[in-house]
Amino acid sequence: MEESSKTLGEFIIENQKAFQYSSGELSRIINSIRLAAKVVSYKVNKAGLVDITGAAGETNIQGEDQQKLDVYANEIFIQTLKNREIVCGIASEENDEFITVEGKDKGHKNKYVVLMDPLDGSSNIDVNVSVGTVFSVYRRITPVGTPVTLEDFLQPGTMQVAAGYVIYGTSTMLVYTTGHGVNGFTLNPAIGTFYLSHPDMKFSKDGNIYSINEGNYIQFPQGVKDYIKYCQSEEGDRPYTSRYIGSLVSDIHRNMIKGGIYIYPTSSKAPKGKLRLLYECNPMAFIAEQAGGKASDGFGRIMEIKPKELHERVPFFCGSYNMVAKAEEFMLKASK
């Protein structure tokens, strides 16, 4: 079978034995995310035709205005995972606290927890710009059969068993890793099936795109300012091209295909950074490393950070390995 005709379901079955804990639950989690992604994709693609754009009138735990599609996507992913009884806990960027999931027998027999940003970049919906879903899967560390605790979610990214994202753009793609490379699947909307379209995705070691909101330049730390000037200088293969969508999934996806670096640093307005470690940075870091890239907080590996709280924020540098390493050099030099 040619890879372009291989479905996501077939790929999961073929690679089941490569999972660290091959008992079926992880495959079913990916299948559940596939199902929820199709439902959300359908809603996103007709958002301009129905009353599902704009603000929902509430704020989330981050103090950010919730969009109607934020709320919808959050409900769809949570209900899909809960209904299939394959996880023991769920944490979402849109929820204040984690959700404990019991089985029909009121037990807590499942082994995995899922953390997610159900609709990243949702403020772009109103202007028809690509948005996405980001997810991360961990094996619980508390005893099976007991309710999950905060400890199960506050694990470093190195403990992830799977991570991925769905991008809702000109086509809908699901990209994920279980620690054995990164593969991308594109949805054929006519028949509702994801097909393997981007096998063994890789970041190039070097790139020529830098993605950062330069409008906040004056608020950035000196190391970031110096790196931006480096990107703009006319030396070697520079200046690099500046490309910033403002949707994490879209920016990372483009840079993985084209070669580049994404930066969301600390600033005078966001001294801890803005992106969430557990819902955005860790899963993207896992994907980047599996694709030969690098992910950092500017000084060290993102996935080695021990989370202290559910909605912790960190600065984020992610992309082509040599570009992130060069940015770290500028950060270190400026900190001395």
Mark the binding-site residues, compressed into ranges.
93, 117, 119-123, 213, 244, 274, 280
Which amino acid makes up residue 48? G
Binding-site residue numbers for Mg(2+) are 93, 117, 119-120, 280
Q: Which residue has the tokens 């995995």?
A: 112
Cβ partners under 8 Å of residue 289, min gap 6: 295, 303
Buried/exposed code over 237-273 (b: 16+ C-beta within 10 A; e: otherwise): eeebeebbbebbbbbbbbbbeebbbbbbbbbeeeeeb
Main-chain dihedrals φ then ψ at residue 100, nearest 5 degrees: -90, 135
Binding-site residue numbers for substrate are 120-123, 213, 244, 274
Per the DSSP assignment, residues forming a β-bridge with 263 are 317
Which amino acid makes up residue 239? P
Alpha carbon of residue 269 to chain centroid: 23
By CB atoms closer than 10 A (0-12, 13-18, 19+), residue 18 is exposed
The Cα 252–Cα 65 span in angstroms is 23
Long-range contacts of 327-330 (CB under 8 A, 24+ apart): 327/223, 327/224, 327/227, 327/261, 327/263, 327/296, 327/298, 328/296, 328/298, 328/299, 330/223, 330/224, 330/226, 330/227, 330/230
Other C-beta atoms closer than 10 Å to the C-beta of 127 total: 7
Instruction: Tell me how far CA of residue 284 lies from CA of 14, 123, 239, in angstroms.
Output: 24, 20, 26
By CB atoms closer than 10 A (0-12, 13-18, 19+), residue 140 is buried
The Cα 61–Cα 84 span in angstroms is 27
